[in-house]
């Protein structure tokens, strides 16, 4: 039974229990925690520390730009698929980068604990930016590790679910728990503690299993020789494609780095506007790094399949080809050519599903706190209880349920169920936006209102907790299925690049759409926004059903 086969329904409880007891599953939970902790510390709790230190809001807004490292992580993912670290390569293809990133992050957090953010803001911002890039790099390699090591004993679906559970628990530790610790021992001591935890995980990672980043075919396992075999694209054709795609990616990377450097080093009046940058440069970067390279990769795949512009006999280095360019081609374009060639026209459906499946929670999440605090007038403590503690617990429970459903029902049924739940739970927030009468009645019916009242809370807190709890439960189920599905459509030999590209699209579409959504809220209100997001979610439901049909047809052909 393969990892793919394990995702099919009817495998039962014994598969689930066997997977939970597997060594790879334990390390997956640990790596998931290590992946989520820096994100929470650099893009969440850090602002609380800066605020207490008296750093002005405009400067804190500049700090938020380090989040671009996560959105554009795919730009350097080809290097992680092909470049080895001297000496550390013996740890394994993926582990060498995982351990390095975790140790570097631990050192950065420990160093931050020794600095005063107000008096040493320059060093503080530099370390935070390096930490964000190291954290994004860690995410790329951990996702690739998960895909590469999946097997019949540790199915991909289960590893994906466990990863998310570890990630969510880390967001709680780096968010709410960090706030609690900071109130008692101080921010420097809190970050020191978190840094030591990451260093410990990095040391533990030395003992994790690893798998070579090799594809399923002999050509992928020996990439440079494969590029010189009869039937492969001619070097001149590959060179031209590489120059075009490489130039597009280099321009995008330089644009992002330049914007971040100018934003973090210029005086306030001369800093570029981040809203304008995201609205104008963001779509261009997506076109330059994903759309155009995908079209070029598709053209290359078609030409090779038709036998045009290909080698008529095996070539050797003596014929004047460029080995370094071959390596660059294999790192940058081969993952795209493989993906487009394997998917064909199904790529349109894949990309449409990637762009819409998680958009419900990705696009409006930025406005959650303004909705809770400004529109509904809940207090900070009430929102913290409902969102950070109760909400995270509901998400973890949803992930656990999603993981069980993946084992019992299969990947696509669970994914369809998650799409439906993720869409319709937006209607719960729409109810809150017009008074919350239905959610209040539900909270009373299940006994949550009386429970909160017995603990000294207001009944309206129970209404918020019920809404967030149900929505996060749905998000957990959808998230478990989505990550498992996304991991299944990439090839093991190119997992770092392909997964980074697809997951970055999920982040970018939410980032690029928030400006328009904010304008919609200002003009039409929150209720109209939640109804609109529900409709977007229903589009994802239709696309998921079509993907289920595609997967079923492919499986029938394979059988």
Does residue 177 share a domain with residue 277?
no
Those residues whose C-beta lies under 8 Å from the C-beta of residue 365, and which sit 6 or more positions away, are 510
Structure tokens given for 187? 């921010």
Does residue 265 share a domain with residue 203?
no
Does residue 285 share a domain with residue 200?
no
Residue after which a domain boundary falls, among 213, 230, 253? 213
Measured between its terminal Cα atoms, the distance across the chain in Å is 13
Which of 381, 486, 423 lies closest to 147 in space, CA to CA? 486
Does residue 225 share a domain with residue 132?
no
If one compares 259 and 184, the residue with the highest pLDDT of the two is: 184
Q: Say whether pLDDT at 423 is over 70.
A: yes
DSSP 119: T
Those residues whose C-beta lies under 8 Å from the C-beta of residue 61, and which sit 6 or more positions away, are 274
What pLDDT, on the 0 to 100 scale, is given for residue 546?
A: 95
CA distance 90 to 134: 21
Does residue 248 share a domain with residue 206?
no
Helix (H, G, I), strand (E, B) or coil at 199: helix
If one compares 180 and 360, the residue with the highest pLDDT of the two is: 180
The pTM of this model reads 0.78
In a domain? residue 63: yes
- Quick check: 120 and 54 in contact, CB under 8 A? no
Residue after which a domain boundary falls, among 329, 344, 359? 344
Q: Say whether pLDDT at 13 is over 70.
A: no
What pLDDT, on the 0 to 100 scale, is given for residue 219?
A: 41
> Domain containing 119 — which CATH number?
1.20.1250.20
Q: Say whether pLDDT at 509 is over 80.
A: no
Which alpha helices (H) appear in 21-120, and where do they start and end? 23-40, 46-52, 57-63, 68-71, 77-82, 95-112
- Quick check: 509 and 364 in contact, CB under 8 A? no
Mean pLDDT score of the chain, rounded to an integer? 82
CA distance 106 to 531: 43
Residue after which a domain boundary falls, among 344, 377, 392? 344
Does residue 140 share a domain with residue 101?
yes
In a domain? residue 420: no
Q: Say whether pLDDT at 458 is over 80.
A: yes
Does residue 252 share a domain with residue 230?
yes
Range name among 4-13, 63-72, 325-334, 387-396 with the lowest pLDDT average: 4-13
Q: Say whether pLDDT at 161 is over 80.
A: yes
Residue for token pair 């487009």: 340
Helix (H, G, I), strand (E, B) or coil at 233: strand
Range name among 59-68, 226-235, 378-387 with the lowest pLDDT average: 59-68
Does residue 229 share a domain with residue 209?
no
Task: Calculate mean pLDDT across residues 245-255.
Answer: 86
Which alpha helices (H) appear in 155-234, and where do they start and end? 156-172, 178-185, 187-204, 218-221, 223-226
Does residue 274 share a domain with residue 166?
no
49, burial (CB in 10 Å: exposed 0-12, middle 13-18, buried 19+): buried
Write a three-state SS string for 150-166. Answer: CCCCCCHHHHHHHHHHH
Those residues whose C-beta lies under 8 Å from the C-beta of residue 380, and which sit 6 or more positions away, are 373
Q: Say whether pLDDT at 3 is over 60.
A: no
What pLDDT, on the 0 to 100 scale, is given for residue 286?
A: 77
Structure tokens given for 358? 């998680």
CA distance 63 to 82: 31
Looking at the DSSP bridge assignments, the partners of residue 233 are: 310
Which of 65, 66, 76, 79 lies closest to 108 in space, CA to CA? 66
In a domain? residue 15: yes
Q: Say whether pLDDT at 392 is over 70.
A: yes
Range name among 81-95, 262-276, 315-329, 356-370 with the lowest pLDDT average: 315-329
In a domain? residue 237: yes
Confidence band, pLDDT 50/70/90 cuts, at residue 19:
low
Which alpha helices (H) appear in 205-291, and where do they start and end? 218-221, 223-226, 235-265, 274-286
| % of the chain surpassing 70 pLDDT | 84
In a domain? residue 525: no
Does residue 270 share a domain with residue 134?
no
Those residues whose C-beta lies under 8 Å from the C-beta of residue 332, and which sit 6 or more positions away, are 78, 242, 245, 246, 249, 497
Range name among 184-188, 210-214, 336-340, 541-545 with the lowest pLDDT average: 210-214
Residue for token pair 């405009």: 58
Does residue 205 share a domain with residue 234?
no
CA distance 385 to 534: 26
CA distance 149 to 527: 45
What pLDDT, on the 0 to 100 scale, is given for residue 218?
A: 41
In a domain? residue 281: yes
What pLDDT, on the 0 to 100 scale, is given for residue 419?
A: 94
In a domain? residue 550: no
Which of 353, 340, 383 lies closest to 481 in space, CA to CA? 353
In a domain? residue 391: no
CA distance 178 to 38: 12
Q: Which domain holds residue 76?
A: 1-213
The tally of CA atoms less than 13 A away on the side-chain side of residue 293 is: 29
Confidence band, pLDDT 50/70/90 cuts, at residue 221:
very low
Task: Calculate mean pLDDT across residues 293-301.
Answer: 87
Range name among 222-236, 308-322, 423-437 with the lowest pLDDT average: 308-322
Which of 420, 443, 389 lies closest to 538 in space, CA to CA? 420
Task: Calculate mean pLDDT across residues 295-310.
Answer: 85
* 3-state class percentages of the chain: helix first, strand second, coil last, to nearest 5: 80, 0, 20
- Quick check: 47 and 185 in contact, CB under 8 A? no
Confidence band, pLDDT 50/70/90 cuts, at residue 275:
low
Q: Say whether pLDDT at 351 is over 50.
A: yes
Those residues whose C-beta lies under 8 Å from the C-beta of residue 305, and which sit 6 or more positions away, are 341
Confidence band, pLDDT 50/70/90 cuts, at residue 510:
low
CA distance 274 to 251: 18
Range name among 150-154, 360-364, 507-511 with the lowest pLDDT average: 507-511
Residue for token pair 């030395």: 206
What pLDDT, on the 0 to 100 scale, is given for residue 321?
A: 47
* Number of domains, the chain: 2
Does residue 36 share a domain with residue 181?
yes
Q: Say whether pLDDT at 30 is over 60.
A: yes
């Amino acid at each position: 039974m393969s990892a793919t086969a394990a995702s099919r329904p009817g495998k039962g409880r014994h598969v689930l229990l066997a997977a939970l007891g597997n060594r790879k599953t334990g390390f997956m939970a640990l790596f998931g925690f290590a992946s989520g902790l820096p994100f929470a510390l650099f893009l969440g709790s850090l602002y609380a520390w800066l605020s207490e230190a008296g750093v002005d809001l405009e400067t804190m807004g500049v700090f938020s730009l380090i989040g671009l490292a996560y959105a554009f992580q795919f730009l350097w993912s080809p290097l992680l698929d092909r470049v080895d670290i001297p000496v550390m390569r013996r740890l394994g293809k993926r582990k060498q980068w995982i351990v390095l990133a975790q140790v570097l992050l631990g050192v950065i957090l420990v160093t931050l604990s020794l600095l005063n953010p107000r008096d040493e803001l320059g060093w503080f911002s530099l370390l935070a930016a390096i930490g964000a890039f190291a954290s994004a790099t860690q995410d790329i390699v951990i996702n690739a590790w998960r895909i590469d090591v999946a097997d019949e004993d540790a199915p991909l679906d289960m590893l994906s679910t466990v990863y998310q559970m570890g990630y969510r628990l880390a967001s709680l530790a780096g968010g709410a728990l960090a706030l609690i610790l900071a109130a008692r021992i101080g921010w420097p001591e809190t970050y020191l503690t978190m840094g030591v935890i990451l260093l410990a995980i990095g040391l533990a990672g030395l003992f994790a299993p690893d798998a070579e980043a090799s594809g399923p075919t002999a050509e992928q396992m020996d990439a440079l020789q494969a590029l010189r075999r009869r039937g492969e694209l001619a070097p001149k054709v590959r060179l031209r494609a590489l120059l075009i795609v490489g130039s597009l990616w280099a321009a995008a990377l330089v644009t992002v780095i330049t914007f971040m450097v100018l934003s973090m080093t210029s005086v306030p009046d001369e800093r570029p506007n981040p809203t304008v940058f995201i609205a104008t440069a963001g779509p261009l970067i997506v076109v330059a790094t994903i759309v155009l390279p995908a079209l070029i990769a598709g053209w290359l795949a078609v030409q090779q399949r038709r036998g045009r512009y290909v080698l008529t006999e095996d070539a050797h280095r003596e014929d004047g080809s460029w080995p370094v360019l071959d390596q660059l081609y294999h790192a940058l374009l081969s993952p795209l050519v493989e993906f487009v060639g394997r998917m064909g026209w199904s790529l349109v459906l894949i990309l449409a599903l990637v762009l819409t499946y998680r958009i419900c929670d990705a696009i409006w999440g930025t406005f959650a706190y303004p909705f809770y605090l400004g529109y509904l007038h809940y207090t900070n403590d009430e929102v913290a209880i409902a969102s950070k503690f109760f909400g995270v617990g509901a998400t973890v429970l949803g992930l656990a349920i999603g993981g069980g459903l993946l084992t019992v029902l299969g990947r696509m049924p669970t994914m369809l169920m998650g799409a439906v739940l993720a869409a319709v739970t937006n209607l719960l927030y729409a109810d809150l936006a017009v008074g919350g009468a239905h959610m209040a009645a539900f909270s009373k019916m299940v006994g949550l209102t009386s429970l909160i009242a017995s603990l000294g809370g207001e009944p309206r807190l129970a209404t918020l907790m019920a809404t967030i709890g149900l929505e996060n439960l749905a998000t957990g189920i959808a998230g478990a299925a989505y990550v498992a599905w996304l991991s299944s459509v990439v090839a093991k030999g190119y997992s770092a690049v392909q997964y980074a590209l697809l997951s970055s699209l999920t982040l970018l579409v939410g980032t690029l759409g928030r400006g328009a959504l904010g304008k919609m809220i200002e003009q039409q209100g929150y209720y109209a926004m939640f109804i609109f997001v529900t409709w977007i979610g229903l589009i994802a439901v239709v696309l998921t059903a079509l993907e289920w049909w595609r997967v079923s047809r492919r499986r029938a052909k394979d059988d």
